[in-house]
Structure 1
Amino acid sequence: MRELYEGHSDRAQRFRTWLLAFDIATVVFIVATSFSERGVSVEIVDAVLGVVILLDLLARLAISRNRPREFLRLSTWTDIVAIVSFLAPLTGEAGGFLRVLRTLRILHTYTLLNDIRDPHHPISRNEEVILAVANLGVFIFVMTAIVYETQHRTNPEIGNYADALYFTVTALTTTGFGDITLPGTTGRMLTVLIMIFGVTLFLRLAQVLFRPSKVRFGCPTCGLLRHDPDAVHCKACGTLLNIPNDES
């Protein structure tokens, strides 16, 4: 199991790719079921996903060289919350809200991006963009769920997840059409959090999109990972680099 989770063989990379695909499929399921009535089939899928996530967590704990430290990781507690929510769903929509935390596993687990050794591979060249988009997407998804769960029972303007998403995006972009507002001190503070953290993540995405292109290639001396595509020497320490070109 340690070789599959931490190794660099082709089999290990395929295994982690399938785990990442499972995470993405889980997120798609969460989004889809939040707009539909819950039935027996949904509960069965819930149970299957919960069992798979539980087995994954137990496997990672089994191979860990420091198990107590695992419980200091956000991804571990995200898994625990997701497992409880899938296997023992709460009444109403609250269970769906807790399952939103499963999306954070995409960012905090598996080292698929770091396993790509070719600096000209599309994933390596766009790794920062991918992570910035994922961070922003997860933030929007989580804040949408928080807005919905805290408002839909008392705020007639928030009737479903689509209304909550609309408000979150307008607050994040500081558009603020004013057709949906969050009343009270709690609502105002939530709006402030969305604007502050959302704008920060949005600016981070803009930064990685528009700054000069870099390639990922670790300097053997100082470890600097980002260099100009045509760099001959490391700009940090001057070490001679041997960055392969597209035809290598």
Structure 2
Amino acid sequence: MTSAPTTQSKAAHSGSEHTAEAVEPKEQHTAKEKEKPLRERMRLLYHGHSRAAHRFRYGIVVFDLITIAFIIATSFTPDAPWIEYLDVCFGVLILIEFCARLWVSPHPARDFTHFSTWADIVAILSFLAPIVGEGLGFLRVLRTVRLLHTYQLLSNLRVDFPFFRRNEETVVAVINIIVFLFITTGLVYETQHYRNPAIGNYVDALYFTVTTLTTTGFGDITLEGSFGRLIAVSIMIFGVTLFLRLLQTLLRPQKVRYPCPGCGLQRHEVDAVHCKACGEKLNIPDEGRF
């Protein structure tokens, strides 16, 4: 009569031991992660492939977008103490992130050969130095460009968003145009709003940029001075190039990125079974849409 309960108790005890054994390695792994030096943990966030690293890098992009939105929004309001306080707060946060990125970089000195690093320095000075105010703060958008073109972030987007996998070239081309609009709009505003009554805020600068970019040129707003004319010429030249790139990606047959195991060719037709370069059989992941 007592054998069944005894057997059940042994089974329960054995199950609890297995559960404890299963939990223990996980706890040990978590403890090992916590024991890593701060610099190593930060390096994993910036260059790792874990979900936490993905979320961290997405968070930096979101912070960049919030910064740009703040710069645009404050162009419509008169100078006030609360704007200067927020300028300082953004400047301190940008400075902390900038120092952390240099701290975990394998080659900190080499980073100073990149234009995006100097753009960050200018942005930090523009937020922290009262004599500069928010001027040149629009250069923060350049760091978003650098992030979008790093291997880690592109890999994250391919893994996390099927839509990005299917339309990577088109999405990147659209983002390039949007970023170009932000940069040139900021440049037009910062160089003209003190001397040109037609450029009163970012909307006026954006209106001029879009009309120049599309070569419409209504003529109701023109930039003053020789430097202003050079800006207009640059907008037309680079803008046409970006538009041609976007049209090329839209009209070209849709392809997917998948490295061929034989020759390494990266882009193939969405329904390709064999590589068109070497004939190697492909096993392209498909969600069933094609």
TM normalised by structure 2 equals 0.77
Shift of 1:70: 0.7
What is the alpha-carbon distance in structure 2 between the residues aligned to residue 229 and residue 120 of structure 1?
17
Once the two structures are superposed, residues 205-244 of structure 1 have per-residue CA deviations (whole angstroms, 9 ceiling, x without a partner) of: 2222232211122223443332111111222333321101
Residue 87 to residue 231, structure 1, CA distance change in 2 (3 Å): same
Decide which of 244, 262, 270 is 1:229's aligned counterpart.
270
Q: Which moved more, 1:147-156 or 1:36-45?
A: 147-156
**Cα distance in 2 between the residues matched to 1:222 and 1:101:** 40
Aligned mate of 1:209, from 237, 250, 253: 250
The answer to which structure has the higher helix fraction is: 2
- Superposed CA deviations along residues 170-225 of structure 1, whole A, max 9, x for unmatched, are 11111111222234433332221111111111221222223221112222344333
**With CA pairs under 8 Å and 6+ residues apart, which has the higher RCO, 1 or 2?**
1
1:102 to 114, 117, 140: 140
**Which of 177, 188, 191 in structure 1 is aligned with 2:232?**
191
Pair 228,97 (structure 1): closer, same or farther in 2 beyond 3 Å: farther
Provide the aligned length of Structure 1 versus Structure 2. Answer: 245
Which runs of structure 2 are paired with 1:72-221 in the superposition (5 Å)? 72-91=113-132, 95-109=133-147, 111-118=152-159, 121-221=162-262
Q: Give the letter for the 1:30 counterpart.
A: I
Question: How far did residue 30 of structure 1 move?
Answer: 1.4
- Whole-Å separation in 2 of the counterparts to 1:19 and 1:119: 17
Question: How big is the shift at 1:85?
Answer: 1.2
Indicate conservation of the 8 Å contact 1:4/1:16, yes or no.
yes
What is the one-letter code of the residue matched to 1:52? Answer: L
Of structures 1 and 2, the larger Rg is shown by: 2
Deviation at 1:3, TM superposition (A): 0.9
AA at the equivalent of 2:281: L
Distance of 2:175 and 2:183 partners within structure 1 = 12
Deviations 1:12-47 (CA, angstroms, capped at 9, x unpaired): 111111111111111111111121123222222222
- Give unmatched runs, 5+ long, in structure 1: none
Root mean square deviation, CA, Å: 2.2
Percent sequence identity over matched residues?
A: 57
| Residues 4 and 120 of structure 1: CA distance in aligned 2, closer, same or farther (over 3 Å) | closer
Structure 2 residues not aligned, in runs of 5+ = 1-41
State the secondary structure of the residue aligned to 2:134: helix
